[in-house]
Chain A
Amino acid sequence: MATNKKKLSLKDKYQYLTRDMAWEPSYQSKKDIFPQEDFEGIKITDWDKWEDPFRLTMDAYWKYQAEKEKKLYAIFDAFAQNNGHQNISDARYVNALKLFLTGVSPLEYGAFQGYSRVGRQFSGAGARTACQMQAIDELRHVQTQIHAMSHYNKHFNGLHDFAHMHDRIWFLSVPKSFFDDARSAGPFEFLTAISFSFEYVLTNLLFVPFMSGAAYNGDMATVTFGFSAQSDEARHMTLGLEVIKFMLEQHEDNVPIIQHWIDKWFWRGYRLLSLVSMMMDYMLPNKVMSWKDAWEVYYEQNGGALFKDLERYGIRPPKYQDEANKGKEHISHQLWATFYQYCQATNFHTWIPSEEEMNWLSEQYPDTFDQYYRPRFEHWQALQEKGERFYNNTLPQLCQVCQVPALFTEPDDPTKLSHRSLEHEGERYHFCSDGCCDIFKYEPDKYIQAWLPVHQIYQGNCEGADVETVVTKYYHIDAGRDNFEYLGSPDHKRWQAIKGQKPDESQAAKPKNAA
């Protein structure tokens, strides 16, 4: 069957192998087949203009992914067989993993569900295919994370009931509500939220420092799954940028809608990542870089280049970017100080940083740490040395939108707690910032539905009224093992046994001697 036509280019061939399998339906209406495509107000005039972010056919996908998985599981096996957990820098490090498994891994599963849905919903087959590939990748991520942590779970506390905890524990409503928010939005907002704002703009702040941190702290299993997952991330990031450009190019009416979403999801993501800031500055025994440095490299520098590029579409940087930039000096300290006080109700331990660590923080944060935060830690340390380790038994007020307890300060006054509130249909709602308050104002009907953990405890929906009952019965926190101060905890004692150190009860009050 000879023809005169030229052989297809890679790009055209890929289109034949993806979107050309789709067709213009005639027995059912497009509106019935793709019922979710219109309600957000995004106007798509021509799906043919969709640029495939990557050109991976399924055979290549299976081949490359299998190769990655083979390598990854070989390392997991070796790690377990050689008791690799004994080679980490210090058992305090494992608390970062506890935060990750309960806070992040369930989001990967939510991403899998979200991308499966939008991977069905777009009428553009090119976009559907890209989303479906991300869906199955996200499933990969949650499963490899569970498998990477499986060995740690056998040797440390706090990891054992991560999915149950994700649905219930107070601080985990921060990541959970973030993803519920994205998943409950329409398909275009979902992609703006997750593919663009999270994957493209912010995910480097989660994975790159986290994985470098794991590498610096001797955690081979996590480094390996992290980097292996990140190799999928390059595809996801490309999708994130392509989808934004596509929507912006399709119709000028899309610009203000997308700008609003960028403003919203930047702020939502920034608040979520405050948990990562504390992980980087306080939970890694061997520090890689400070949150502040990471923010400068991965947001200010990269984000600057990105938003300059998007100027040509009439997009400006996220509305509260300047506040976030100011916050880089503060949020990690504010978070850690809060978790220090409330670790009776968390599945991980907290502690006072050692003298050496505090000096590192002073160096990294010359304008803020000594002035605002060191005194607080030294005060608690003194109490702890007297055997009066401080726990706060007052339930905190949570922001109606991001659900972080009221702990952030005013952007220009680090001595003043930031608080906003407004009345909506006779009820008063509280917020941590203008950013969150704005988000509420735009969609009050959505955010009044929030499942706020503290309210729920007061309303008796958490199997008890006192903290201890809620923590043990409802959260499944194994009291005395999963929670409280690190020093003297079973994890700590076990680590001392591993390292052949004599467990010394008096150390429980002397963090300087830790590890």
Chain B
Amino acid sequence: MSIEIKTTSVEPIRNTYSNIKRRFGDKPATRYQEASFDIEAVTNFHYKPLWDPEHMLNDPTRTCIRMADWHSVTDPRQFYYGAYVQNRAKMQEATEHSYSFCDKRGLITRLPEDLQETLLRFLVPLRHVELGANMNNSGVAGDCIAGTVTQMHIYQAMDRLGAGQYLSRIALIIDGGTGDALDRSKTYWMDDALWQPMRRLVEDTLVIKDWFELSLTQNLIIDGLMYPLMYEAFDQWLDEQGAADVSMLTEFMRDWSKETVRWVDAMVKTVMAENEANAVQLQAWVEHWEPRAYEALAPLADESMGRDALDTVRAQFATRLKKLGLTSQGVQA
């Protein structure tokens, strides 16, 4: 008899939290589900923000995009914090290996000086673009709603900080850890005509108020053109110049980009499918920002790989957009 009591007392009395049960049915839930859905406050807020009295805290109208439930935007990677950091820890371990290998073997410092300068002029200033992307995604994480959406943006923000730090380390390898090369690289970003359209674009994104417009502009449009151009095409061009080893130092960015495209596309697809007004708005934003991103990258392409490389990237991006139900102007599809 007592054994029977013990057995039943081990049986769970419920499978998961009530909110998860309401969404997914009465069955055991994944860690991603329990950690991501409905964890955010939705009602009965006490005070209007002093910094934005037009809106409430967690206000869904901080973007003009309308979703019945933002939790329908989910992460195909199913990243909750623990899964995220463990994934990135693996990536950083591999990256660390490459960086210390390059550093120890002098793979970068043995490159001709003009090629080293090319890295400082074309590649390393991307660290500033990464910082802009870091700020934008942190801002989106603070403004957007629903745990499934907010968490993807803070992961993205931290990833961009990390990418910027890796790019900075390329210069520190070049200058032997003094910071000289970083200083020089920064002057390109600030003053070289090559970078001014991009710097203008990044600064313009820093004043975008609508968080979805910002996420779309940064994570889909700018990254959608910049990553293939600067980490694929430019990488290939460096190879042709005899700097194939640099590739080891940008592997993180390529792997990261491949992974990131999946959640960005999933988000855009879901928002597009929700209603016609969303689809129209997204198309309008693409029409506004895609040419800006193209123009910002044009000088970089012109002075290295040539414009064709950028046009190829743009055409590929147009195909990606098309799958999402969006069209980009300027490319004959």
Cβ of B295 within 8 Å of any chain A Cβ, yes or no, is no
Cβ of A3 within 8 Å of any chain B Cβ, yes or no, is yes
Contact between A161 and B19 (Cβ–Cβ < 8 Å)? yes
Q: Which residues from A are CB-within-8-Å of B147?
A: 109
The A-contacting residues of B in range 183-218, CB under 8 angstroms, are 186, 189-190, 199-200, 203-204, 206-207
User: Among B46, B91, B164, B189, which residue has its beta carbon within 8 angstroms of that of A23?
Assistant: B189
Closest to A15 in B: B179
1/0 contact string of B46-59 vs chain A (CB within 8 Å): 11111100000110
Q: Which residues from B are CB-within-8-Å of A135?
A: 138, 141-142, 154
Q: Which residues from A are CB-within-8-Å of B164?
A: 17, 21
Contact between A155 and B82 (Cβ–Cβ < 8 Å)? no
Nearest CB in chain A: distance from B1 CB, A: 10
The A-contacting residues of B in range 64-92, CB under 8 angstroms, are 80-82, 85-86, 88-89, 91-92
Q: Which residues from A are CB-within-8-Å of B10?
A: 83, 86, 498
Q: Which residues from A are CB-within-8-Å of B12?
A: 154-155
Contact between A16 and B34 (Cβ–Cβ < 8 Å)? no
Contact between B150 and A113 (Cβ–Cβ < 8 Å)? yes
The A-contacting residues of B in range 3-39, CB under 8 angstroms, are 5-6, 8-10, 12-19, 31, 34-35, 38-39
Contact between A33 and B207 (Cβ–Cβ < 8 Å)? yes
Contact between B162 and A66 (Cβ–Cβ < 8 Å)? no
1/0 contact string of A163-200 vs chain B (CB within 8 Å): 11011100001001100110111110000000000000
1/0 contact string of B162-187 vs chain A (CB within 8 Å): 10111011001011111111100010
Closest to B15 in A: A154
> How far, in whole Å, are A12 and B178 apart by their CA atoms in the complex?
10
> How far, in whole Å, are A179 and B34 apart by their CA atoms in the complex?
22
Q: Which of B129-137, B238-246, B304-312 contacts A (4 or more CB under 8 A)?
A: B129-137
Cβ of A128 within 8 Å of any chain B Cβ, yes or no, is yes
Q: Which of A141-149, A246-254, A429-437 contacts B (4 or more CB under 8 A)?
A: A141-149
Cβ of B303 within 8 Å of any chain A Cβ, yes or no, is no
Contact between B35 and A110 (Cβ–Cβ < 8 Å)? no
Closest to A80 in B: B12
Nearest CB in chain B: distance from A346 CB, A: 16
Cβ of A313 within 8 Å of any chain B Cβ, yes or no, is no
Cβ of B61 within 8 Å of any chain A Cβ, yes or no, is no
Query: Assuming the A-B contacts A132-B154, A147-B34, A500-B2, are A72 and B82 also in contact, with contact meaning beta carbons closer than 8 angstroms in the complex?
Result: yes
Contact between B179 and A5 (Cβ–Cβ < 8 Å)? yes
Contact between A57 and B165 (Cβ–Cβ < 8 Å)? yes
> How far, in whole Å, are A114 and B34 apart by their CA atoms in the complex?
22
Cβ of B260 within 8 Å of any chain A Cβ, yes or no, is no
Contact between A143 and B200 (Cβ–Cβ < 8 Å)? no
Query: Assuming the A-B contacts A116-B138, A117-B143, A155-B12, are A66 and B88 also in contact, with contact meaning beta carbons closer than 8 angstroms in the complex?
Result: yes
In the complex, which range does the number of interface residues on chain A fall in?
35 or more
User: Among B40, B46, B109, B127, which residue has its beta carbon within 8 angstroms of that of A176?
Assistant: B46
> How far, in whole Å, are A176 and B98 apart by their CA atoms in the complex?
47
Cβ of B332 within 8 Å of any chain A Cβ, yes or no, is no
Cβ of A374 within 8 Å of any chain B Cβ, yes or no, is no
1/0 contact string of A495-507 vs chain B (CB within 8 Å): 0011010000000
Q: Which residues from B are CB-within-8-Å of A181?
A: 46-47
The B-contacting residues of A in range 61-81, CB under 8 angstroms, are 61-63, 65-67, 69-70, 72-73
Contact between B41 and A167 (Cβ–Cβ < 8 Å)? yes
1/0 contact string of A449-486 vs chain B (CB within 8 Å): 11100001000000000000000000010000000000
Closest to B108 in A: A1
Nearest CB in chain B: distance from A212 CB, A: 24
> How far, in whole Å, are A142 and B161 apart by their CA atoms in the complex?
23
> How far, in whole Å, are A461 and B9 apart by their CA atoms in the complex?
39
Query: Assuming the A-B contacts A163-B41, A167-B44, A451-B45, are A63 and B93 also in contact, with contact meaning beta carbons closer than 8 angstroms in the complex?
Result: yes
Contact between B142 and A113 (Cβ–Cβ < 8 Å)? yes
Cβ of B257 within 8 Å of any chain A Cβ, yes or no, is no
Contact between B157 and A5 (Cβ–Cβ < 8 Å)? no
1/0 contact string of A109-128 vs chain B (CB within 8 Å): 11011101111110001001
Closest to B190 in A: A23
The A-contacting residues of B in range 228-264, CB under 8 angstroms, are none
Cβ of A291 within 8 Å of any chain B Cβ, yes or no, is no
User: Among B2, B81, B207, which residue has its beta carbon within 8 angstroms of that of A69?
Assistant: B81
Contact between B180 and A160 (Cβ–Cβ < 8 Å)? no
Contact between A183 and B57 (Cβ–Cβ < 8 Å)? yes
Q: Which residues from A are CB-within-8-Å of B138?
A: 116-117, 119-120, 128, 132, 135
Cβ of B155 within 8 Å of any chain A Cβ, yes or no, is yes
Contact between B85 and A162 (Cβ–Cβ < 8 Å)? no
Contact between B47 and A180 (Cβ–Cβ < 8 Å)? yes
Q: Which residues from B are CB-within-8-Å of A117?
A: 138-139, 142-143
Cβ of B302 within 8 Å of any chain A Cβ, yes or no, is no
Contact between A120 and B135 (Cβ–Cβ < 8 Å)? yes
Nearest CB in chain A: distance from B27 CB, A: 12
Contact between A153 and B142 (Cβ–Cβ < 8 Å)? no
> How far, in whole Å, are A145 and B92 apart by their CA atoms in the complex?
26
Q: Which residues from B are CB-within-8-Å of A157?
A: 13
Closest to A34 in B: B206
Q: Which residues from B are CB-within-8-Å of A16?
A: 168, 172, 179, 182
Cβ of B315 within 8 Å of any chain A Cβ, yes or no, is no
Cβ of A446 within 8 Å of any chain B Cβ, yes or no, is yes
Q: Which residues from A are CB-within-8-Å of B204?
A: 27-28
Contact between A451 and B46 (Cβ–Cβ < 8 Å)? yes
Contact between A184 and B48 (Cβ–Cβ < 8 Å)? yes
Cβ of A289 within 8 Å of any chain B Cβ, yes or no, is no
Contact between B81 and A140 (Cβ–Cβ < 8 Å)? yes
Q: Which residues from B are CB-within-8-Å of A379?
A: none
Contact between B96 and A500 (Cβ–Cβ < 8 Å)? no
B interface, CB within 8 angstroms of A: 2, 5-6, 8-10, 12-19, 31, 34-35, 38-51, 57-58, 80-82, 85-86, 88-89, 91-93, 95-96, 109, 113, 116, 127-128, 130-131, 134-136, 138-139, 141-143, 147, 150-151, 153-155, 157-159, 161-162, 164-166, 168-169, 172, 174-182, 186, 189-190, 199-200, 203-204, 206-207
Q: Return the 5 tightest CB-CB contacts between A and B, nearest first.
A: A117-B142, A66-B89, A58-B162, A120-B139, A154-B12
6 contacts between A and B (CB under 8 A): A1-B116, A7-B177, A62-B89, A65-B85, A117-B143, A139-B154
Besides the known contacts A39-B51, A62-B89, A150-B16, 15 further A-B residue pairs in the complex with CB atoms under 8 A apart = A3-B175, A8-B178, A23-B199, A58-B92, A65-B85, A132-B157, A135-B141, A146-B35, A153-B17, A154-B15, A160-B17, A161-B17, A168-B43, A184-B47, A451-B44
